[in-house]
Structure 1
């Protein structure tokens, strides 16, 4: 089973040097990114049609980041070269039998003249710099370096950002984060976002009861084991393991991972040392891990062991990871189809992330075709009671391990089915990096709406408190009748009832606070977030769309 990473513009060193020179010329603001205006000016020298150049940009910017880095620029130049030779520009062109290493750079009309002028101008500037060495010179800090400075109070206009993700960071810091802090969203729902939350690679989480093949599944995709992997018929994985790219093979303890600013796991500190001692990061150099991070989880136990022998909130942790992940795989074994009450609670904690869930019926070659049909029916029946969605969830059937399919049991029909199902699952996994930017936008908008509803709830509870006496009884009454208060907020502001938080979870969080100390509703802050959703985000997407649309 192959899962090749996205092609990144393989070419010879000589050609790479040429492309680097061209890239530096096209990148007018020297930020390492070529955006719309730079691209249209540079690509126009290829004399390809607008439709061809639109396709070139769409393929090169497959992750829809809104810009081209050097690797994406090389892909674009290779596509232009192929287009100039008369080949139709399609998504499959780079994965065909084209010899990319020996593919000549495209013909860019007038580029040599521009490069010569730029070189001459650079020489003149160097002479002037040398002549001014006696004068004092002081380096000015770059705009981007001051974005996240705590001393910087001046707002940075969105026109200065160079990608969609950068724009989301700006909008979060300037418009959404103040509302979160004011109404303590981080204490009730989700910790405040950091740089690493925006820049993190897409994540895939695997959940299931013990020995359903979660660790083996990751090992099979990587075609090798990872540091800290344990496989066996008994419950072997006793901790959450994040498998990600790194310079060398090593395991990093959870407490260390949680305090590293370049990793998006600082929010896990809320689950305490008991959890962090059962959490680790496994790093290794691997081409697949440069695009996707995997989260391996402990098998869900049955009975009281799940709650009493784990000293941390297991469902809370899975819910936290579910919010961060781009895809959630629920693995089942054909011999362990029963969904225990504990596993039911884990699946219920994924509420609000139904679009990310995929089901994998693993080890399917251990039963024959007739039994597999019955197993599939039983699984769908069990899932129907747990997943509260009217749609049928996608179930992948296969045997995801290093061993060949057991033909003696599954037969030729089963083998053909497993191969097609594996291809479909791999296609889903390959699409994750391409959709990562869209997912970030989706999660950002979802978070903004959740913050607004949270602000309405908190301010409503504050308004219901008496001014002088009887505050203790009034608070207890509000907490006991929280579902009714949610209904009042929903009717007053015309909000969808499905967007409200879980009543029981909110009630437990609320018990530790004095409602009278909460802030009143600040309509101006709400309007800022409304404007962000209605104008700023659409304008951001418009600025970084395909420049040939």
Structure 2
């Protein structure tokens, strides 16, 4: 179930016979050295050939198989006029995106390099099964009409997909029409399959699709995330702060917060007040004492002044170079993300499988105890016939099975099964397991209540062996090979090993 073989043969330099093939070739072209590419393929192979079959058989929590573009993705988020489009133009070295103080674009725009300048609209982009964006269909036609792809030649940034998102704003309240009844208002405010109605439950006018869910989808598939703030709205836009708590929750390892346009300050106390306001607003939505790093920078503009001084401007340019390096290293970040994804998905699936298996055995035991000595009716088919017995058996057992399933899916019962299976780790104070369980339990409850315990099945001995091998052998091996490939262990590993040996 690995990627299609043509992923390894098509490159952006290969000549395409038709325009329909150029997009697939460009977005799925190799972007780095052979070692990095091999590690990426091995991680994807473990996920596709081992985890997904177990996940599908047990109706597990992992997302279904999909084509993944070989090019790394960089997602840019932020308020309107925060400098996202200007930074993209600076990265690629040409005016690809319009920029301005007012909102200039209401679409998710994908920008990448190619052999010629071409554009592709949302329906064509989402409808191509080889590009990896078919899952966006789940968010409705309103989103599809607000997605586009731009391929440009001679870009300064090669083999990276930049995703420019719509600027986040606080919309004024717009109530539903007065002539609508209460039921019609509730119907309009409801969402289905990831889509939002025209009127939200709070009475605000939304985008026509679930913006936070779409943003989270792009964030999950991106390798670097840049969240922009600017001096005019230093963290005061509610939609931006909501994005941090909903769409970007759990993405801290690839999130970079940017305080842009810092060259506009002429006085130090103005900068201090704006920066302090940003930190204050972030502290209300980031549940930690220590805030993540905030990159203060600016994008070079014609006739740019020195602002806070020449040294301060040089420092802003230096910080911008750090952010640019993060974008340039997106391919390495991608491989690291894929290995982390493999590790995390294996742990999630293993916990799901273990607790689900424990629930199956507990359910069988509860049924036997509830029936008690009533199993003596098993000889009834001799007297009443097989079909009649089957109907009577179903009528007798179905309510009890339903009741046992309902009891097992209660929070405290499932949590007890989890604690019984991870007794040793919990006793050692492993807090990571509890956070993992909060992600697994809702999906397990949904599967058990929807299809029943018997339909889900249980994990066998071979399944456990496969999952343990990925966690104990494959993931550590891939991480060591990746560290050697990028040269991280050349100096770190001998020092650490030496310190251990000397103790």
TM-score, normalised by the number of residues in structure 2: 0.67
Give yes or no for the alignment of 1:525 onto 2:463: yes
Change (3 A) 1:347 1:261: same
Helix, strand or coil at the partner of 2:142: helix
Q: How does 1:381-392 map to 2 (within 5 A)?
A: 381-392=280-291
In the alignment, the residues of structure 2 paired with residue 515 and residue 405 of structure 1 have an alpha-carbon distance, to the nearest angstrom, of 65
Helix, strand or coil at the partner of 2:140: helix
Change (3 A) 1:463 1:247: farther
Residue 436 of structure 2 corresponds to 499
Give yes or no for the alignment of 1:485 onto 2:414: yes
User: Which digits, 9 at most, give the CA deviation of each residue in 1:363-403, with x for residues without a partner?
Assistant: 22222222112211221222122223444312111222533
2:405 and 2:449 in contact (8 A); partners too: no
Residue 418 of structure 1 corresponds to 316
In the alignment, the residues of structure 1 paired with residue 452 and residue 287 of structure 2 have an alpha-carbon distance, to the nearest angstrom, of 33
2:339 and 2:478 in contact (8 A); partners too: no
In the alignment, the residues of structure 2 paired with residue 65 and residue 442 of structure 1 have an alpha-carbon distance, to the nearest angstrom, of 20
1:482 and 1:503 in contact (8 A); partners too: no
In the alignment, the residues of structure 2 paired with residue 204 and residue 492 of structure 1 have an alpha-carbon distance, to the nearest angstrom, of 39
Give yes or no for the alignment of 1:191 onto 2:191: no
Residue 302 of structure 1 corresponds to 170
User: Which digits, 9 at most, give the CA deviation of each residue in 1:227-247, with x for residues without a partner?
Assistant: xx3433333321211112233
Residue 159 of structure 1 corresponds to none
User: Which digits, 9 at most, give the CA deviation of each residue in 1:180-234, with x for residues without a partner?
Assistant: 212334xx5533243xx2x5212111111222121222112112122xx343333
Residue 201 of structure 1 corresponds to 71
Change (3 A) 1:260 1:396: same
1:251 and 1:282 in contact (8 A); partners too: yes
1:271 and 1:313 in contact (8 A); partners too: yes
Q: Aligned match of 1:358 in 256, 267, 281? A: 256
Offset at residue 347 of structure 1 (A): 1.0
Aligned residues: 387
Helix, strand or coil at the partner of 1:336: coil
Q: Aligned match of 2:110 in 242, 246, 251? A: 242
User: Which digits, 9 at most, give the CA deviation of each residue in 1:397-433, with x for residues without a partner?
Assistant: 12225334333x4333432221222222223223333
Residue 267 of structure 1 corresponds to 135
Offset at residue 322 of structure 1 (A): 1.5
Helix, strand or coil at the partner of 2:284: helix
Residue 66 of structure 1 corresponds to 35
Change (3 A) 1:216 1:456: farther
In the alignment, the residues of structure 1 paired with residue 227 and residue 480 of structure 2 have an alpha-carbon distance, to the nearest angstrom, of 36
Q: How does 1:390-429 map to 2 (within 5 A)?
A: 390-400=289-299, 402-407=301-306, 409-429=307-327
Change (3 A) 1:547 1:402: closer
Offset at residue 531 of structure 1 (A): 0.9
2:109 and 2:164 in contact (8 A); partners too: yes
Change (3 A) 1:491 1:245: farther
Change (3 A) 1:459 1:206: farther
Helix, strand or coil at the partner of 1:386: coil
Give yes or no for the alignment of 1:251 onto 2:150: no
Alignment gaps of 5+ in structure 2: 1-7, 10-30, 175-195, 368-396, 426-431, 491-503
In the alignment, the residues of structure 1 paired with residue 304 and residue 445 of structure 2 have an alpha-carbon distance, to the nearest angstrom, of 49
In the alignment, the residues of structure 1 paired with residue 270 and residue 445 of structure 2 have an alpha-carbon distance, to the nearest angstrom, of 45
Residue 332 of structure 1 corresponds to 229
User: Which digits, 9 at most, give the CA deviation of each residue in 1:107-155, with x for residues without a partner?
Assistant: xxxxxxxxxxxxxxxxxxxxxxxxxxxxxxxxxxxxxxxxxxxxxxxxx
Change (3 A) 1:270 1:522: farther
In the alignment, the residues of structure 1 paired with residue 276 and residue 327 of structure 2 have an alpha-carbon distance, to the nearest angstrom, of 25
